[in-house]
Structure 1
Amino acid sequence: MAANSEPKKIDINSTISLKGIVKAIFNDTIHVQIGGKIITLPKGDFLLDKSMN
């Protein structure tokens, strides 16, 4: 067996779509329910209409 000390690197750059229910919107975070879990996402991750700010 050859000894290879170089770790294999895998780069992944993909986009997924998830549907969820927005539970709350605060100044800098959005709380979304996906399945049975509520996750907190930074508002900066979304392209929001400026009228919402």
Structure 2
Amino acid sequence: MITLANQAESPKISVNSMISLKGIVKAIFNDTIHVQIGGKVITLPTSEFQLEKPIR
């Protein structure tokens, strides 16, 4: 039997929520980063990250 108390404790999933994945960076170009997660390589735009440029 499911009670209302058990339903209230269930986790909420929402759109635009943050997740964390571990992967291997395979390549970095000027505007994209290619990351391997499992057996798949995905491309991420660098605009989604706060990257610091090296100081020379």
- Report if TM-score (shorter chain) is over 0.5: yes
- After the TM superposition, which segments of 4 or more aligned residues of structure 1 sit over 4 Å from their partners? none
For the aligned residue pairs, the C-alpha RMSD in angstroms reads: 1.7
State whether structure 2 residue 35 is matched by structure 1 residue 32: yes
Gaps (5+ residues) in structure 2?
A: 1-13
Aligned residue pair count? 42
Tell me the TM-score normalized by structure 1: 0.70
1:13 pairs, out of 13, 16, 32, with: 16
